[in-house]
Chain A
């Protein structure tokens, strides 16, 4: 492996920051979900990179588990979005503030 692991981890950090920005800035619930996917994938990339560096299976196992959890999260998240869309016209997260104290 000629590309140093730093590069992969650095890329992972950049992607994570982009995802975080998306979550903070966007108000469309769908896009927020997409941004979360970016963050999860950034984490996965770091895991995979370290797994390769140490020639250990642990990182891969964790990454695959993250994939499974992400799939669950998408199912439930999208389910909620669809259910919300039946009740409300908007999918704007700022409008969904019933839980205000």
Chain B
């Protein structure tokens, strides 16, 4: 059976748009329930089409790099043409599957989570808009549409973070996310301009064909281009120093956190680096910068996560940390490892968020882990799913996170041969980060599900949680509509890693580096580094780090002790705790360096205006008023007098003409 890859990809791409438009045009004529189901249906169609796209791609006899399908020419001006086209290659199919698959599950989850929200329909429409934007980004066939998708994703995220627009904190967080992302947008736009200036091409195929001739390897131009592209990626993916928006973005509804701020949007930066890898391959410095930023971010975020008390913020910092790993992988050129971790992370992080969402939902929108504890008894299924996600996050065999994270660590160690000390340093950071991951991950598990029942949890057990002024009467396990997408994600988290068992198979590597497809970094073939002892060593170190992290967490919080034991960390590193609690003071730093000077400037300008400009304007108005008063006597208000004046003037003019003409 022949499958037209392009057609199916178009269906996958446009299905969320159709869903969005139907909901938007249907408006209130569409019952809330029907609109939401429509959104889920659109996502199901998109996911089905994505799977068929994958099958169709595999069925191609000779994959020729990419399947490009042009709908129409969007802009045409002289030789400058921007086609509206999609670019289907293994990389975009990979992203397509992750976005639509996880997106579909989170859509279904939202049905339950947001069921009581009066604006469920708007929420589902936004979710569809977000998925459509993300697909624009990953399927774009040229630089311009990549940029369009990039901007749309930022907008959709803004709308979703600020979904509860009656909460000032939510709107502030939405604005913050938008502004920080705008910095990244400008950066990546400038990078794209540079690429266009040098190559004169917009379509990916042409760009990458011309790039090696247009830009010298190792040149300052190559570094500059990479730097600008990287700036965009850092903002979208919440990496240092443009990461401050992500924790605040947790003000949005939890499904949004799962979909946007864990599974898809924040991985856009990783995707962008992978997509532009021919550019990054031209600049060793930019690659080292990428991996160092990734390494530093994963440490900083992991450390910050240790002391956060908001369940979603812990997971948000964990997301930053995990994306740091992806940046490390992208930096050393192991793009398939980055994409593999991107996928498994999407599974287990969405699982974590959705599990956290169930807890938050059950406890009446309570997000403070100090008021939780002992939930295991009330919701065992959620507990075990959360446990699976945490194990995967920590990198415990055989869960998905183990395979993907250790692949990154292995490649980082191996890359030491090529990058020298930088790679070893980043490897060290990665291992340290893995220990931290185990600690903060299980701190969450122990504090939320183990230990003594907190007062709030006990009330939940009695079905007496008060939410929005009325008792929910809910107790026990979460409703099935919320649970089954989580179960699917749990299953994927368990088996998802098995597609790349070291030494046995390597589906991400083989698929993404498929013959004819855009080759991901020649020379990173595992065979080259394939010293068996080294692999074994790396895996042992990775597992050891995870075990150490788990053990530490168990020692500190695992034996059913009350929250006061949290202070153990304080005793451990009393001076470090406030730093972690305040997330290394990045917000304060930006406030002092950017916000306050700007406000100061504005205040100074206002004072200048008040003291200097305004009095001058006052003079002008007074002068105008006085002169008006002076000549107002001529305005007698009698039309005939005015007409008389006009007639006299005309008489004078005609007389003048006659006189001039006669002389």
Residues of A within 8 A of B (CB): 20, 23-25, 27, 32, 93-94, 96-101
Contacts and interface: CB of A to CB of B under 8 A. Distances in A.
Contact of A101 (B635, B639, B640, B647): B635
A97 B636 CA distance: 7
Contact of A96 (B628, B639, B644): B639
Contact of B640 (A94, A98, A99, A100): A94
B645 to A, nearest CB: 10
B636 A100 contact: yes
A24 B643 CA distance: 6
Contact of A94 (B632, B633, B635, B638): B638
Given A20-B647, A23-B643, A24-B643, A97 B638 contact: yes
A99 B643 contact: no
B469 interface: no
Nearest to A20: B647
B600 interface: no
B627 interface: no
Identify the interface centre among B631, B634, B643: most chain A CB within 10 Å of its CB.
B643
B637 A97 contact: yes
Interface residues of B, number: 14
Main secondary structure on chain A at its contact with chain B? loop
B647 A24 contact: yes
Nearest to A25: B640
Contacts of B628: 101
Interface of B: 628, 631-640, 643-644, 647
A96 B640 CA distance: 11
Contacts of B633: 101
A91 to B, nearest CB: 12
B469 to A, nearest CB: 57
A53 B633 CA distance: 47
Contacts of B640: 23-25, 27, 93-94
Contacts of B638: 93-94, 97, 100
A52 B643 CA distance: 32
25 contacts: A20-B647, A23-B643, A24-B640, A24-B643, A24-B644, A24-B647, A25-B640, A27-B640, A93-B639, A93-B640, A94-B640, A96-B637, A96-B639, A97-B636, A97-B638, A98-B637, A99-B637, A100-B635, A100-B636, A101-B628, A101-B631, A101-B632, A101-B634, A101-B636, A101-B637
A19 to B, nearest CB: 11
A25 B634 CA distance: 20
B13 to A, nearest CB: 56
